């Protein structure tokens, strides 16, 4: 590849030509003079003539020999060039740049292209010659490639880039890898189709991610050690359950041997077990093993199996450990259960099969203000609890009937009449005949959280600075307005308002001034529209207005002019005046149009107003290009007194 790049940099082979014809002409004159002098009989004249003739002939013979050598080298170089162009697997095109008189951006014309280049771009043989590179690539990709060509021209160093040719089906998009080599009078573009390679890499990554996720999601600990000579004893697999059981994260244990991360007794025990597997390949079970971890002793049932490589030899030893510590400690936990119920901060209520209260914990009594004598033996519904019926707790009958726990929001009425918002969990206990014997309610007071949640919902839909609905609320209100427009057959318009000169206010006067200007602009926008219209702030200096029942186009023009005049008036901040003006894009809603399409048209119109000189508005028609409606004086920033 290095010699190929050198050949490309040298360019197509050319024959070295003499810079002047004076030497051959002089030799011809000398030869003629020598021949003329060789004819006289006078030896004094004839001898110099013969010398001149011989010298001229010898010089011409040497020049002819040099020309034959140059021709042979040129033929070899041409053969090498042809071999590179025709014999390589990559697509090779040679580009020359030239500037159009009407456009400062250089364009690139293809002067050479091999068979692979024609096939890559789907052209017949010779069809690429003389064509512009812009004709073969989409505009966005051409701009990217043009930037790479500029860098290659400036640095005179090869550039490498890769991109995808767009296609309607993303799975059939063509990925191209380009190497750009600068030449004396252009560039060599070496292209290679990397679509299959990328797909293969993506497929491998997907499979790897799938298997890693699968192993990590297993409820039992799974880990493996290598038995290969080069990595013998190193851990190559350690799932999340293994992290929990052994109290060791995967990043510490992977690539390490047991004696580097685990206690000595665990290491010795594991080596002995692996030796048993190697001696007698097969499934080996090791029940009730005790592992000492940083979190304490763990009791596990261990299974070890050999994993064979492609050569038929054991490459790894896979271990599957089921943590049975919980089962061993179940008895102790049962002893603690009653104490936990007494001490827990959540209210616990146990009722019988017909929902009469059997037992409550102190947290319930503290929460409701009742005493045990007022509770035990009475119906849970009469004590202000939601009955276990679908009409009050949706899905509770199905969940309890399937033996599952039901959880959700509910209410609890206290003795003093207060109603609390609670998070309630309901489960059941069954006898050997699968009949419900007890209902267990566990709930906590979430009244404070519900109040905060309602406040956050309100804050999430409004801008904290201006108090206007934010981007999220704008989307919801626009969808509602469009539905009303279709239902009531009334006009609907959307305005996109962007402030010109706002960045200068922030840069010069600070963000406090910018916030003051944004707040004032929000007020002015609200004064320019009706109470039924909606003014939103998308972010930064971008605002939107939803106009329902706006009427015909002249009415929309008057509203835009009203906003333009109002917002363009000076803003006073700390005894200084600043002026910002809006660029407004307006779009009337067409029946069947999506919110995204309507906003896109309004946004395009707003940018059209900016490109037309700012401080104006553009109305986007249903079809055709946006058109300029009006323009105010150019935006400017004023300050009382001299401006330094």
> In the prediction, which pLDDT does 453 show?
83
Quickly list DSSP for 298-317.
EEEEEEEEEEE-TTSSEEEE
Indicate whether 286 and 381 sit together in one domain. Answer: no
Last residue of a domain, one of 87, 110, 140: 87
Domain match, 540 and 617 both: yes
- How many residues does this entry show for the chain? 644
Token code pair at residue 17: 């030509």
- Residue 596's domain comprises 461-631
Question: What are 505-511's contacts with CB under 8 Å, separation 24+?
Answer: 505/578, 505/580, 505/637, 508/637, 509/573, 509/574, 509/576, 509/578
Per-residue pLDDT reduced to its tens digit, 572-586: 888 888 889 999 999
Task: Answer whether residue 342 is part of any domain.
Answer: no
pLDDT tens digits along 421-432: 888 889 888 888
Other C-beta atoms closer than 10 Å to the C-beta of 287 total 11
If pLDDT is split at 50, 70 and 90, which confidence band does 4 have?
very low
Give the per-residue pLDDT at 176.
84
Residue 81 and residue 96 share a domain: no
Of 84-93, 411-420, 539-548, 560-569, the least confident? 84-93
Q: Are residues 128 and 231 both part of a single domain?
A: no
518 and 627 in a single domain? The answer is yes
Query: What's 379's domain CATH number?
Result: 3.30.450.20
CA atoms within 13 A on the CB side of 378: 14
Which of residues 48, 65, 87 is at a domain's end? 87
Residues 52, 31: Cα–Cα separation, whole Å: 7
Domain co-membership, 516 together with 600: yes
Residues 179 and 227 in one domain: no
Let me know if residue 277 belongs to a domain: yes
Strands 571-573 and 296-308: unpaired
> Would you say residue 343 lies in a domain?
no
CB distance 186 to 92 below 8 Å: no
Same domain? 255 vs 353: no
- For the cut 80, the answer to whether the pLDDT of residue 313 exceeds it is yes
Chain centroid to CA 541: how far?
A: 26
Is residue 603 in a domain?
A: yes
| Span 245-259, pLDDT tens digits | 888 888 888 888 888
Instruction: Specify the long-range contacts of residues 157-166, CB closer than 8 Å, at least 24 apart.
Output: 157/182, 158/5, 158/182, 162/194, 165/137, 165/138, 165/141, 166/138, 166/141
Does 364 map to a domain?
yes
CATH of the domain at 539: 3.30.70.270
pTM of the model: 0.37
Instruction: Assess whether 363 and 320 both reside in one domain.
Output: no
* Token pair 């323009």: residue: 631
Long-range CB contacts (< 8 A, 24+ apart) of 6-14?
7/80, 7/81, 7/84, 8/84, 8/181, 8/183, 8/188, 8/190, 9/181, 9/182, 9/183, 9/188, 11/183, 11/184, 11/185, 12/81, 12/94, 12/112, 13/74, 13/77, 13/78, 13/80, 13/81, 14/74
Residue 230 and residue 176 in one domain: no
The whole-chain average pLDDT of the chain stands at 81
Three-state secondary structure call for residue 222: strand
Tell me which of 74-83, 241-250, 354-363 is least confident.
74-83
Into how many domains does the chain fold?
5
Bigger pLDDT: 362 or 102?
362
Residue 539 predicted with pLDDT over 70: yes
Task: Report the C-alpha gap between 354 and 365 in whole angstroms.
Answer: 21
Q: Domain check: are 491 and 605 in the same one?
A: yes
Structural domain includes residue 637: no
Within a domain: 202: no
Q: Which of 450, 480, 496 is the last residue of a domain?
A: 450
* Domain annotation covers residue 455: no
Question: E strands of 141-240, at which residues?
Answer: 159-165, 174-183, 186-193, 221-226, 235-238
pLDDT at 438 over 70: yes
Tell me how far apart the terminal alpha carbons of the chain are, to the nearest angstrom.
61
As a whole-number percent, the residues of the chain with pLDDT over 70 amount to: 84
Q: Which of 132, 143, 126 is nearest to 98 (CA)?
A: 132
Same domain, 387 and 259: no
Instruction: Note the helical H segments in 306-414.
Output: 325-328, 330-343, 362-368, 372-375, 396-401
């Amino acid at each position: 590849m290095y010699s190929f790049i050198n050949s490309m940099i040298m360019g197509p082979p050319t024959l070295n030509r003499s810079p002047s014809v004076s030497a051959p002409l002089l030799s011809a004159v000398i030869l003629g003079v020598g021949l003329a002098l060789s004819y006289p009989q006078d030896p004094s004249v004839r001898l110099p003539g013969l010398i001149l003739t011989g010298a001229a002939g010898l010089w011409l013979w040497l020049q002819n020999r040099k020309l034959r050598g140059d021709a042979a080298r040129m033929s070899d170089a041409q053969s090498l060039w042809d071999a590179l162009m025709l014999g390589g697997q990559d697509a090779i095109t040679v580009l020359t740049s030239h500037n159009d008189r009407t456009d400062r951006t250089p364009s690139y014309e293809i002067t050479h292209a091999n068979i692979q280049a024609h096939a890559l771009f789907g052209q017949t043989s010779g069809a690429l010659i003389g064509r512009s590179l812009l004709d073969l690539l989409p505009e966005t990709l051409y701009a990217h490639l043009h930037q790479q060509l500029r860098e290659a021209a400036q640095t005179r160093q090869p550039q490498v880039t890769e991109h995808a040719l767009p296609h309607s089906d993303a799975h059939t998009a063509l990925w191209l890898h380009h190497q750009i080599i600068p030449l004396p009078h252009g560039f060599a573009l070496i292209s290679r189709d990397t679509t299959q390679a990328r797909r293969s890499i993506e497929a491998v990554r997907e499979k790897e991610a799938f298997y890693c996720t699968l192993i990590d999601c297993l409820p039992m600990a799974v880990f493996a050690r290598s038995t290969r000579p080069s990595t013998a004893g190193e851990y190559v697999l350690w799932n999340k359950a293994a992290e929990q059981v052994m109290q060791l994260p995967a990043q510490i244990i992977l690539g390490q041997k047991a004696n580097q991360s685990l206690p000595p007794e665990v290491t010795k025990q594991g080596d002995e077990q692996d030796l048993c597997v190697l001696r007698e390949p097969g499934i080996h079970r090791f029940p009730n093993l005790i592992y000492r971890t940083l979190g304490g002793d763990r009791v596990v049932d261990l299974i070890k199996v050999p994993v064979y490589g492609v050569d038929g030899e054991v490459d790894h030893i896979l271990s599957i450990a089921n943590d049975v510590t919980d089962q061993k400690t179940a008895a102790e936990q049962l002893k603690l259960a009653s104490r936990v119920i007494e001490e827990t901060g959540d209210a616990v209520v146990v009722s019988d099969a017909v929902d009469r209260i059997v037992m409550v914990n102190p947290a319930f009594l503290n929460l409701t203000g009742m005493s045990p004598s007022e509770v035990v033996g009475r119906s849970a519904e009469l004590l202000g609890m939601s009955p276990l019926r679908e009409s009050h707790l949706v899905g509770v009958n199905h969940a309890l009937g399937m033996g599952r726990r039901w959880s959700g929001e509910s209410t609890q009425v206290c003795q003093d009449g207060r109603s609390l918002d609670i998070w309630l969990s309901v489960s059941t206990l069954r006898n050997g005949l699968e009949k419900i014997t007890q209902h267990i309610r566990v709930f906590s007071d979430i009244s404070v959280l519900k109040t905060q949640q309602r406040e956050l919902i309100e804050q999430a839909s409004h801008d904290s600075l201006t108090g206007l609905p934010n981007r999220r609320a704008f989307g919801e209100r626009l969808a509602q307005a469009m539905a009303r427009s279709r239902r009531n057959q009334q006009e609907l318009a959307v305005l996109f308002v962007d402030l010109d000169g706002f960045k200068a206010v922030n840069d010069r006067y600070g963000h406090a001034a910018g916030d003051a200007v944004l707040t004032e602009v929000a007020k002015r926008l609200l004064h320019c529209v009706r109470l039924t219209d909606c003014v939103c702030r998308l972010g930064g200096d971008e605002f939107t207005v939803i106009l329902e029942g706006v009427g015909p186009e002249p009415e929309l023009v008057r509203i835009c002019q009203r906003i333009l005049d109002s917002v363009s008036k000076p803003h006073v901040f700390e005894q200084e005046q600043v002026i910002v003006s809006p660029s407004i894009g307006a779009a009337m809603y067409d029946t069947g149009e999506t919110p995204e399409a309507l906003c896109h048209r309004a946004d395009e119109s707003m940018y059209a107003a900016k490109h037309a000189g700012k401080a104006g508005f553009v109305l986007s028609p249903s079809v055709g290009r946006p058109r300029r409606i009006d323009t105010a004086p150019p935006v400017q920033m004023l300050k009382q007194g001299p401006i330094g």
